[in-house]
Structure 1
Amino acid sequence: MDQMIDEPLERLRTAARRTRELARNRTATGLGHEDADDDVGTINTDAALGFDPFPLLEAFHRNGVRVVVIGQVAGIMHGSTELTGDLDLLWDGTPAHAPALAAAFDSVNAQLTDESGSLVAPHPDVLLRPKAPFTSLGASGDCCTPALPWGTLPVREFLDRAITAVDPDGLEVHYVSREDLIRMRRVIGRPKDLRRADELDSLPAAKGR
């Protein structure tokens, strides 16, 4: 598996800090990541307030569960300049891995959304659904499995091809490859996805690896 030392994580740290600074004096609207529009995205919602994906990413690492970052956070790690306020995730959906994933969410006091739309404490059964929306102090988003309808995309293969970024303290963060992220963007096809796919396509190969 490819490994990259620190640079993608530094890009993410810088973007998260810029997001927090941008949203610092913003009045809360009650709109969360699920309310984001198809053009601007979550940067204009309350999800951007205090955005910091690192506590949750560190929790995954501590609990030994392999979760792959997708969406715009992965785009930022590849060099995208667009800010975001949400953290979207992909894992393999294997029941044996669900307890460790639930423990990671629980360690940062995250809440998940059940079938009725109510917030509930992390539980392995909730995470086994194709998509489990989550909310934590630093980040909110969707935690997805390959069972989510992805059209013709072989997303299980995306998990196998994911890149691993490692910082000097040993934190490992897995994120989808640029090519697979572009494929995801174009299949979803919202204005923001197509714009971001074009941006990723324009990046030098080394930067967007």
Structure 2
Amino acid sequence: MTDDPLERLSAAARRIRELAHERPPTGLSHEDADDDAGTIDTDGALGFDPFPLLGAFQRHGVRVVVIGQVAGIMHGSTELTGDLDVLWDGTPAHAPALAAAFASVGARLTGETGEPLPLRPESFLRPKVPFTSPGAGGDCCTPALPWGGLPVRECFDRAVTAVSPSGLAVHYVSREDLVRMRRALGRPKDLRRADELDPPAPAPDA
């Protein structure tokens, strides 16, 4: 396995597209994902390519931090995914650049009950906004999203950065914070993925 986080993500995205291409559409979006299998079993995996959106964030000068299983893959997780979850700081002054980045890749927004939202800066001020785009769908979150008491703003501030040879800079949550976020959510897939990145200590000998 390569040590480069963006090479890991690129290889995983190719594998996801290959696997999804071999199966019929499911009719399920990332919002319908099973708490055990995750979004790899949904149509979000079809044509999965997070790089256009990640590049748009950089071009529009907005700091966005990758969370969820894409961050897990960048840290070395072998589990595949079908969505791209991101975190931004929620500052209203930064919302126009964020909206412009999403618009540049043809993204669409919905409310949490599935109603369409206009792709305007104010739509992103909600704690969580589900989105779809030609390459990747997922959730765009702010630190206001409740996360089991976890100080999400601190996770945003402690994010690490990977830079590709072409100059693409991608910010993603640290391994330690990702494990904390996983354990705070507590779904079967989260606990399994947390254990993958931070295996529990072996039980002492009886």
Place the TM-score, normalised by the shorter chain, in its bin.
over 0.9
| Contact map agreement 1:106 1:121 (CA 8 A) in 2 | no
**TM-fit CA distance, 1:114:** 3.2
TM-score (structure 1 length as normaliser) = 0.92
Does the aligned pair in 2 maintain the 1:113–1:134 contact within 8 Å?
Answer: yes
Asked if 1:91 is matched to 2:97, the reply is no
Offset at residue 167 of structure 1 (A) = 0.5
Work out which of the residue numbers 155, 164, 167 in structure 1 matches 2:164: 167
Match of 2:98 in 1: 101
> What is the rounded CA distance, in whole Å, between the counterparts of 1:144 and 1:124 in structure 2?
13
Is residue 181 of structure 2 the alignment partner of residue 187 of structure 1?
no
Q: Which stretch of the first structure deviates more once superposed, 94-103 or 121-130?
A: 121-130
Report runs of 4+ in structure 1 exceeding 6 Å deviation: none
Query: Which residue number in structure 1 is paired with residue 6 of structure 2?
Result: 9
Paired letter, 1:47 = G
Per the normalisation by structure 2, the TM-score is 0.93
Query: Whose relative contact order is higher, 1 or 2, with alpha carbons under 8 Å and at least 6 apart?
Result: 1
Provide the rounded CA distance (Å) in 2 between the counterparts of 1:40 and 1:114. 24
Is the contact between residue 20 and residue 51 of structure 1 (CA under 8 Å) also seen in structure 2? Answer: yes
Residue from 57, 60, 64 that aligns with 2:57: 60
Aligned length: 198
Paired position in structure 1 for 2:42: 45
1:129 aligns with 2:135: no
Contact 1:185 1:194 in 2 (8 A): yes
Contact 1:60 1:66 in 2 (8 A): yes
Q: Distance in 1 between matches of 2:188 and 2:96?
A: 36
CA contact (8 A) 2:161 2:169 kept: yes
Between the aligned partners of 1:122 and 1:105, the Cα distance in structure 2 is: 8
Distance 1:118 1:76 in 2: 31
* 1:117 paired residue number: 114
Deviation per CA, 1:160-189: give whole Å up to 9, x if none: 110000011111000000000000000100
Shift of 1:25: 2.5
Match of 1:205 in 2: none
- Given candidates 145, 149, 153, the residue that maps to 1:148 is 145
- The structural deviation recorded for 1:121 is 4.1
1:116 CA drift (Å):
5.5
SS of equivalent to 1:164: strand
Task: Give, in whole Å, the separation in 1 of the partners of 2:119 and 2:41.
Answer: 27
CA RMSD of aligned residues (A): 1.4
What residue in structure 2 maps to residue 30 of structure 1? 27
Equivalent residue number for residue 75 of structure 1: 72
How many Å separate the matches in 1 of 2:43 and 2:158? 32
Identity rate of aligned residues, in percent?
78
1:60-85 C-alpha deviation (Å, 9 max, x unpaired): 01000000000000000000000000
Q: 3-state DSSP class of the match of 1:170?
A: coil
Q: What stretches of structure 2 of length at least 5 have no aligned partner?
A: 200-206
Which structure has the larger Rg?
A: 2
Q: Unaligned 5+ residue runs, structure 1?
A: 1-5, 203-209
Whole-angstrom CA distance in 1 between matches of 2:49 and 2:163: 18
